[in-house]
Amino acid sequence: MTGATLRGLYINLARSPERRERCRQQLADHGLDHCYQRLDAVDGQAARVDHPGTPFTPGKLGCWLSHLAALKAASEHPGHTHILEDDFQLTARFPAFIAALDQHTAEVGHWDILFTDIDLAGMFNVATMKTLVARVNALSAAGRLALDDAKPLYAAGNSSYIVNGASAPRVYQLMREGLASNLPNDLWLRKLIREEKLRALVTLPFITTVNASFSDSTILGNIGNSNPSILFATLFRRSLAADADTGALLATFKQHLGKMPPINDRGMIYAHLVAHFMSDDFKTY
């Protein structure tokens, strides 16, 4: 399967024309506008009329229903479908990857979903993150991409994922069942992956990431103001993308960190200990 037979859908609210234009321009810049199209996102506020008693905020309900609409469209398409939220950022590696998607997936066996970017599990496990960073560094230095099992890495997020055409009807049905679970759609997806009802892979390095508009989320609001921890985690997530400008991301991280109150001495000592754990000078004991 080549990029010409892969169909892409990007989810975008009618009231977000600036995001729509960024999506359109980015796809055109990468020569992909012929195989990607906009999918009108569901307005969660309006949809609450048809979902009385829903525990979801309008943003989360709209997200659920929008992804279900995208998955329904994928289930009716004979090829693979790439589903994107409208805060995506394609890397330079992305067009070549999807043009040779079947070659990349030929040796991994059956797969249902292929993430090109995720929120990471294990963020508080220093050893896990050190291993992940080392793997991405090595792959980047060699100019290589790998497809890893997403089960131990996936915490949340469905800003960019490819649905296998052969699996799409089953993926759609499994996700439809989750709407009544009271879980956000990405956490229901995580449950399916961890229970091995779906097999998911993730590209390392990530071949998409999120752009600056992610910080002003339709669901979470202005993340920098409401939860800087998510902002910091997202900067780390963006650093794992292919060809990421890690120097600029680090500078942004330090800029935001500098605006925060200082932590106590013991906390700072531990922070430096973690930095040592991540360094090449660390020795097991």
H/E stretch holding 90:
strand 88-90
CA distance 92 to 115: 17
- The pLDDT value recorded for residue 260 is 86
pLDDT in tens, 184-209: 999 999 999 999 999 999 999 999 99
Strand partners, 82: 8, 162
pLDDT in tens, 72-107: 999 999 999 999 999 999 999 999 999 999 999 998
- Kindly give the pairing relationship between strand 81-85 and strand 7-12: parallel
3-state SS class at 68: helix
Picking from 48-52, 156-160, 191-195, 220-224, which range would have the lowest pLDDT averaged per residue? 220-224
3-state SS class at 107: coil
Structure tokens at 176: 């439809």
Q: What is the CA radius of gyration of the chain?
A: 19
Contact (Cβ atoms closer than 8 angstroms) between residue 41 and residue 13:
yes
CA distance 187 to 17: 28
Fold of 7-246: Spore Coat Polysaccharide Biosynthesis Protein SpsA; Chain A (3.90.550)
Q: Is residue 2's pLDDT more than 50?
A: no
CA distance 23 to 88: 8
- The pLDDT value recorded for residue 222 is 57
Q: Is residue 18's pLDDT more than 60?
A: yes
Q: Which residue bears the tokens 């609450």?
A: 48
